[in-house]
Amino acid sequence: MAKMKIKAKEKNGVVKVKAMFRSLMADKEEAEKKKIKAEYITHILGKANGKVVFEATTSGFMSENPLIKFSFTGAKKGDELEFVLTDNHGKTKTGKKKIK
Amino acid sequence: MFKLDRKLITIGMTLAMSSTFALAAASAQCIPGVYESKPGAIDGGVTYPRKNGIYTAYRYNTQSTKGVWFGRAATANEIKAWDVDALPDGTGLPEGEGSVELGDELYEAQCAVCHGEFGGGGKGYPQLAGGNQDKDENGIVKTLKNQRQYGNTDAPKRTVGTYWPVATTLFTYIRDAMPYAHPKSLTNDEVYAITAYILAQNELEIDGEELDDEYVLNAEKLAKVVLPNRDGFYPNIDGPKAQENIRAFFADRAKNIGMGTRCMKDCKDPGGQDGKTEATVVKIKYEMKDVVPPYAYAKDLPPETEGGSVSKAEKMYDASCKLCHATDTMGAPAVGDTNTWESVMKKGMDTVLVNAIKGTGGMPPKGGNMDLSDADIKEIVEFMINSSKKH
């Protein structure tokens, strides 16, 4: 399941987030071609202080190692940003990073 | 630049034709041969003997070098300034240290425009991190075995983590050649920081320790890095016995490289196969006689200009555009290049502005700095055009 790289920086009340999730994002068709197991992220959920700040439903349409960028307000330095990934096998993975 | 004396050539050709037979005996050494295991050699296996048993894969150029200045021997100080590389064992690495966190900041400001966030690669620029570092049963990184063939969707992914053999190269390369448009602008500490960041993005470990944000890299630790593809290259070119190793490796070409086999029959004989006839090689028809104008020996620096006040537009240009537009090597029209800018301006000011704001070709929208307003972009573009007009 995907490893993730998260970067979150707060400036003037706005938190800018960049995150990359390591995944082949191989859907069924691609997996058959490459003779590997179909495995892709189906859901990305980003939370800060218990509130949802990012949510996306994804599939094989996204590129390998998808990169997301977004910004939100309402969090300060030292707060924790949490990502929950769900893949097509139903497995979940969480990654945390403190906002700088 | 090169002056060809046509009268001399015509005379020379007649002379050359008549003296061909005389020369043929004298230049017996120049008859190309093939590698020893001749039967299997395909046409690429032609060798050209020079002297003392040395041969090359290229024809020896016997042109006159009259008027060509070969310079002088380098002084001890010049060699010292040139000899700055770092060996795989860490010899030659300067002192200094940098953290992953600082590297992150520097990378985002100076490197991410081309190499992508987290080293993920950009349009036409090398990917630094990522790729599968898994190895097969022979210890070869799997992704490097991907062949670029029809039907294959995966190319070999060559990043620091999957392809590079030695990590000290990262340090010397970044220090000497990066950032692309203004190399050698980083301090040693900053280079250590960026090196640490790239190693961290490749999820590498040093002495079993993961590189988290607080990790501080220095010369000693950098020398300890073992990259996954350390043994993926041959022949072995490391150590004092490197030359002997390489000679031994190339001595047995058939085994170590493979001679190839002819796949077609009744091909036109390229010559040189039987060791008697000369291979048909296209030779230089017109010999270089002179260099006009002669090579300059002067080493003066360009005259210094009076530094005037720097405008707001120039400051913004320095911050956001200079990285690519300072030189034309990035494919971007260089500021000061009158001809290129004239052809750019044929599109019309409006199109140029739209391209600058929305991006075109390799250029990201607003040069990658989305904080700039459209009015700022207009000022910058006007500054760039004015700086590139004929004086």
Rounded to two decimals, what is the model's pTM?
A: 0.64
Domain with residue B327: its CATH number is 1.10.760.10
Chain A contact for B118 (CB, 8 A cutoff): yes
Chain segment B289-319, per-residue pLDDT in tens: 777 777 777 777 777 766 556 778 888 888 7
Q: How many CA atoms lie within 13 A of B174 on its CB side?
A: 27
Number of domains in chain B: 3
The answer to whether residue A38 scores a pLDDT higher than 70 is yes
Same domain, B187 and B117: yes
Residue B376: count of CB within 10 angstroms of its CB: 16
B253 within a domain of the structure (yes/no): no
Whether residues B106 and B204 share a domain: the answer is yes
The reported pLDDT for the residue numbered B173 is 92
Is A18–B118 a contact, with Cβ atoms under 8 angstroms apart?
Answer: yes
pLDDT computed for residue B39 by the predictor: 41
Q: Which of A6, A18, A20 to mutate to test the interface with B (most CBs of B within 10 A)?
A: A20
Q: Let me know: does B153 contact A34? Beta carbons within 8 Å.
A: yes
Is residue B68, in this structure, part of any structural domain at all?
yes
Q: Does B154 touch chain A (CB under 8 A)?
A: yes
In a domain, residue B189? The reply is yes
- pLDDT, one tens digit per residue, over B10-68 is 444 444 444 443 333 333 334 454 444 344 344 455 666 666 666 666 666 777 777 77
Cα–Cα distances in Å, from B342 out to B313, B323, B347, B389?
20, 21, 9, 8
Question: Do the domain assignments include residue B168?
Answer: yes
Residues B178 and B113 in one domain: yes
Q: Could you tell me if B104 lies within 8 Å of chain A, comparing CB atoms?
A: yes
Q: Which pLDDT score is estimated for B178?
A: 86
Q: What is the pLDDT of residue B276?
A: 61
* Cβ contact A33–B118 (<8 Å): no
B233 within domain boundaries: no
Q: Are residues B383 and B292 in the same domain?
A: no
pLDDT at B77 over 90: yes
Indicate whether B306 belongs to any domain.
Answer: no
Widest distance between CA atoms in chain A: 49
> Is B82 part of any domain?
no
From residue B298, give the alpha-carbon distance in Å to each of A64, B71, B230, B295: 53, 12, 45, 9
- Mean pLDDT (chain B) is 76
Q: Is A65 at the interface with chain B, CB within 8 A? A: yes
Could you tell me how many residues make up chain A?
100
Q: Binning pLDDT at 50, 70 and 90, where does residue B116 land?
A: confident
Residue B104 to residue A65, Cβ atoms within 8 A: no
Percent of chain B with pLDDT over 90: 7
Per the CB < 8 Å rule, is A20 touching B154? Answer: no
Q: Which helix (H) or strand (E) holds B47?
A: strand B46-49
> At B310, which amino acid appears?
V
Cα B262 to Cα B45, B121, B122: the distances in Å are 12, 40, 41
The answer on B263 and B334 residing in a single domain is no
If asked whether residues B125 and B215 sit together in one domain, one would say yes
Report residue B9's pLDDT band, with 50, 70 and 90 as the boundaries: very low
Residues B293, B327: one domain? no
Most confident of B43-52, B249-258, B338-347: B338-347
Length of chain B: 391
Q: How confident is the prediction for chain A on average, in pLDDT?
A: 86
The range of the structural domain enclosing residue B50 comes to 1-76+258-299
* Contact B203/A at CB under 8 A: yes
Structural domains in chain A plus CATH codes: 4-98 (2.60.40.10)
Is residue B84, in this structure, part of any structural domain at all? no
The chain A residue lying nearest B120, using CA atoms, is A65
Contact B153 A3 (CB under 8 A): no
